[in-house]
Structure 1
């Protein structure tokens, strides 16, 4: 997709990969809609983006609140903003074992990572179709490709996204709807710090693997380059991404490694 002149809606734009992608895209002649829960942080992203010469608006909302998601979409429609691309990076991770995690925490993770994400897509998709097409991108994870200790519902919610968006793609090829699934490995962001524990509270710790992960700016450059080519899957990270291939081609080795890996 040629980004020039396009209106791109980015969720999770207040920090991490979403913010880095917004800043990377701001070098193009684009109009950005920046969303997330933290309005103050979004305004800082807006400041950095507009310094690069693009135009941007801040539209905060909570992915875990269906009415909040609807209100954000209503704002777009009432202001007659044509969305050419929706790139979703908002989400929450997990640090807890299955046996100690109540279903209420599992539901919270799914509400944000899955239901909130597809709710926004369902609100944007009809207008995209009416306008002749568009580009959807959603952020999964390498554990959206396989199970992993300490990440049960996070992994499940990301795997659910693969099924949903692959189905959406198959249904809407004729409508010129292109779909990219972004699959990050260990990227140096605060995703582990902001993850929820067995009590549904913030984990508040940086994983060692996360701390030594790929720089978020490098990750954003790779993602944007592949979004421009509308790649169906965008795998990005360090040596850990080999696990995706091991799970696919050497399942017995994967089962052995997964049961012995340090989840942190």
Structure 2
């Protein structure tokens, strides 16, 4: 029997991309789902695609509203009486050179990708501790492990998530709290189109690497496998995953490989 059965799972960024695919796959399990994003209409569509049952609830959420996270967490808990797992999937990417990027863009990336995720995770932590059980599944990126041009602020925010959640795991293992960090590479989503450019406007255009990435359905499948195995970290993607090991053992070689890749 799957360890997911019987659990209540809260997924952020559930209206599209990996989050949507994860919700669809999880809906085939015997679990309760809470689906969050800023777009209520899209969440309702995802709920219907998942079967529209009373085991699926939507909860609109904007990660920039840090001061509202405790209230949001209470609402999530009230949906089914408990939350067993929080999937921190919501976020936004970037495509701009450092020299051209406004500081306000870096602030926005940190507000959403890092501080919003931290605020939400802290808000649900007392509930996990009280239950002596809880699982954070935080979607970072391969860019949380090594860097790439045009993604400086995105890389910075994702690296920060690794630092925070590694400590979360250490401090609260005694409380039954688990942490799985999910590091996708290129996945066929709208991440590039929605990415912030130097002035904070969306890029609107896709890129070849993203178009040629793995499907969000495959990413979701691999995520569920990692969750069930209780992995600390999982790396998901194509050949770009090799960058993890190049960074660890041959950092200068990785530097040369990334510069030659012309990834935009």
State the TM-score, normalizing by the size of structure 1: 0.96
Pairwise CA distance, 1:79: 5.5
Q: What is the DSSP-based 3-state SS (H/G/I as helix, E as strand, rest coil) of the residue aligned with 1:260?
A: helix
Q: Deviations over 1:59-104 (max 9, x none)?
A: 0010122134343223235567310000111000000000000111
Do 1:62 and 1:69's aligned partners in 2 also have CA atoms closer than 8 Å? no
| 2:50 corresponds to 1:36 | no
**2:10 pairs with 1:9:** yes
Cα pair 2:12 2:87 within 8 Å, conserved: yes
For residues 51-62 of structure 1, what are the structure 2 equivalents within 5 Å? 55-62=55-62
> What number of residue pairs does the alignment pair up?
263
Match of 1:23 in 2: 24
1:209 aligns with: 209
What SS does the corresponding residue of 1:225 show, helix, strand or coil? Answer: helix
Tell me, yes or no, if structure 1 residue 89 matches structure 2 residue 80: no
What is the SS of the residue equivalent to 1:86?
Answer: strand
Contact 2:8 2:80 in 1 (8 A): no
8 A contact 2:132–2:175 mirrored in 1: yes
Distance in 1 between the 2:31 and 2:78 partners?
A: 21
Partner Cα separation in structure 2 for residue 129 and residue 56 of structure 1: 24
CA contact (8 A) 2:57 2:79 kept: no
1:196-223 Cα deviation digits (max 9, x unpaired): 1011011101111000110111111111
1:63 maps to what in 2?
Answer: 63
Q: Which residue of 2 aligns with 1:137?
A: 137
- 1:188-245 per-position Cα deviation (integer Å, ceiling 9, x unaligned): 0000011110110111011110001101111111111111111110111111111111
C-alpha distance in structure 1 between counterparts of 2:80 and 2:21, whole Å: 27
In 2, the alpha carbon distance for the partners of 1:184 and 1:111 equals: 21
Counterpart-to-counterpart distance in 1, 2:204 and 2:68: 26
SS of the residue corresponding to residue 193 of structure 1 reads helix
2:91–2:112 contact (8 Å) kept in structure 1: yes
Tell me, what secondary structure is at the counterpart of 2:199?
A: coil
Corresponding position of 1:220: 220
Q: Give the SS at the match of 2:193.
A: coil
1:54 and 1:251 map into 2 onto residues whose CA distance is 50
Q: Distance in 1 between matches of 2:103 and 2:238?
A: 33
Distance 1:255 1:82 in 2: 45
Distance 2:139 2:62 in 1: 17
d(CA) in 2 for partners of 1:69 and 1:23?
A: 25
Q: Residue 127 of structure 1 corresponds to which residue in structure 2?
A: 127
In structure 1, distance between residues paired with 2:54 and 2:172? 30
Q: Is the 8 A contact 2:142 2:185 kept in 1?
A: yes
- Name the CA distance, whole Å, in 1 between partners of 2:80 and 2:229: 27
Counterpart in the other structure of 1:46:
47
Unaligned runs of 5+ in 1: none
1:155-234 matched pairs, under 5 angstroms: 155-234=155-234
Give unmatched runs, 5+ long, in structure 2.
none
Q: Once the 2 structures are TM-superposed, how far is the Cα of residue 57 of structure 1 from its aligned partner?
A: 0.5
TM-score, reference length from structure 2: 0.96
